Structure 1
């Protein structure tokens, strides 16, 4: 009988943190952290040393501590272990109390968030009257505006002892508004012939355009006037025949019309007969 063989290879075990090492840093309580830096449901928190999320090892024992972790991202060559690894913690946070603190902190956080500031556009200085009407006025209006300004401005006019205006001073001696009005009057006077010619050309073009549209409308109507007239005449004749048939029914058992209904039919027949006569001309 052959002897039994035995395998002395060790079985692969699940890796678990069984280290007895304790960090030299002092013990800290979980309640000292902010509500958004702890999750008591999954027993994780933000490490006070490296500010990364770390699970709590053995939270149900008497000496819970932070799991060993690195300060760099996963996969980094030669990572450096955080000094907060194996740091003892005191779990003194209730889940309901934690939820209450988190809900109370949300409105305060929302209130501290800065809203977008929409700058109000600055209003520019209003232009002068002569700058507004400089494009729309003609030479006569510009001259009247200049004369009215000279009458009311003591700087732009020469007056006698009684305060009557004798004449206007030179353009260089006038005020700012007076100089603008004088320049406007001179500019419109210089451009008056060209402006009148342009206005006359524009009016002539508008008249020709209206005459062309009217001629086009007449030509288009001439092509369809006969079929339209025939259709109108046939419609009136059909309505007249229907009313005459209603007035003189062919069937013996047809309902008899009253005097008022017969009078209405006679007025309608007369009107349709007049329309037929007009369309037949």
Structure 2
């Protein structure tokens, strides 16, 4: 494809000025960091979690004498003001090899998996809830019938009191209240 005058071209962008001097903070030693905060799977693009801002940061200068953290900001991209992290350009000391890191990571995973709970314990009941649940468990269909039979005399007495006509005069206005229960009959087919 030929380039024509109508095709857009990329605008010249200013280059980042990287400082040559390292941070005044003491160097980070890989052996003192948790193995889960280091990623050495691709040694040429090694990254670790910054101890100050807790973001993953690339380690530069793998082929040079001094390895440092990439200059980075503390906040998220495109949010508020970009503040330079104080651990930018901090030196990194490689005091462990990649196989040692892998072994430390495997040990950390094994230890963490042994700490996690495997059984979920039920929440303790209050005494009232415990009594209610025990009473429900003890009730059988025969027990429920016996409970109903024990209540029936009291229900019958309450019905008799409801049917009784109160003493005194009948209301002067309005229809009479039926005292008998109506049972509608279905028409014959």
| Higher share of residues assigned helix | 1
Which residue of the partner structure matches residue 134 of structure 1? 147
> Separation in 2 of the partners of 1:17 and 1:90?
24
* Correspondence for 1:70 among 70, 73, 76: 73
1:110 aligns with 2:113: yes
Deviation digits for residues 172-197 of structure 1, max 9, x if unmatched?
Answer: xxxxxxxxxxxx39819x69xxxxxx
* Correspondence for 2:134 among 118, 124, 132: 124
1:94 aligns with 2:97: yes
Structure 1 vs Structure 2 CA RMSD: 3.4
C-alpha change, 1:101 and 1:14, in structure 2 (3 Å) is: farther
Instruction: Compute the displacement of 1:74 (Å).
Output: 1.2
SS at match of 2:99: helix
SS at match of 1:75: coil
SS at match of 2:120: coil
Gaps of 5+ in 1: 1-11, 138-183, 192-281
Which residue of the partner structure matches residue 187 of structure 1? 153
> Separation in 1 of the partners of 2:103 and 2:94?
17
Which residue of the partner structure matches residue 46 of structure 2? 43
1:79 aligns with 2:82: yes
> Separation in 2 of the partners of 1:32 and 1:62?
21
> Separation in 2 of the partners of 1:99 and 1:185?
74
Which residue of the partner structure matches residue 6 of structure 2? none
Instruction: Compute the displacement of 1:58 (Å).
Output: 0.3
Which residue of the partner structure matches residue 53 of structure 1? 56
Q: Which has the higher contact order (CA 8 A, sep 6+)?
A: 2
Instruction: Compute the displacement of 1:23 (Å).
Output: 1.0
SS at match of 1:134: helix
Which of the two has higher C-alpha Rg?
Answer: 1
TM-score (norm 2): 0.57
Aligned residue pair count: 132
> Separation in 2 of the partners of 1:185 and 1:69?
79
Deviation digits for residues 69-90 of structure 1, max 9, x if unmatched?
Answer: 0011112343100000011110
C-alpha change, 1:96 and 1:15, in structure 2 (3 Å) is: farther
C-alpha change, 1:34 and 1:187, in structure 2 (3 Å) is: same
Instruction: Compute the displacement of 1:18 (Å).
Output: 4.4
Instruction: Compute the displacement of 1:13 (Å).
Output: 9.2
Which residue of the partner structure matches residue 251 of structure 1? none
C-alpha change, 1:22 and 1:124, in structure 2 (3 Å) is: same
Q: Runs of 4+ in structure 1 displaced over 6 angstroms?
A: none
SS at match of 2:147: coil
